[in-house]
Structure 1
């Protein structure tokens, strides 16, 4: 059995496709074709990508510390459960929605700042992302299974 490289789960076609869907849907399709499908598409893609991203960050940290021993299905399962729980709370409970919107704004800030600098714009301010509280988004929770499938394929 081959030892998986740290962070390689993000290179799986399902992970790459989910990033492409997030970018296209959030920056174009939702405006061009507003409706139920575009409203849910990012939820499905985000639930596939998020546990894989968190797992890659942990793997890369372990590698940096000299403690990486290969992919951990158990860790990925725990991250998928955590992702699902935070998502469910953010979509149904106003305090969690606000907290997650601010946390996502903080995580996005370095990316937004890099883009602004590359385009010659001023640096963006820290602020929450737009995160709609919609319990019907819980329909996307089964897509966490695809993240787990990617982990098993490693």
Structure 2
């Protein structure tokens, strides 16, 4: 499954994620590396949100599949749109009206610095002789059962 996003719409989200405090998502409640000292998983096998040390969470975006497929920030404060709702960037063909991808709902994180390195690599490659100078316009996420691949083009 491949999800294509307009990179120009994603870039402001990346800047917001870098400039604000990360907020924990459900996945973080299962990651022992993110727990504050002295905290542990409860009897149910996961931590409480307040037990997560958000200073250990890098700037990131969250890829979500529910009512559509979209990228969002998980930050404090949230990134809001003009109507005061959580700002999201939908994948082409997967808006709230078009619906999400088949299968279960999910949330997966993508670190902002990884996307930035890909953008810089793209721009550096365009500096080679014979290559037209340009900026990438697409952020693509390819998902398989065992792998998530992120691409800029």
Q: TM-score, normalised by structure 1?
A: 0.26
Which structure carries more strand by proportion? Answer: 2
Which structure carries more helix by proportion? Answer: 1
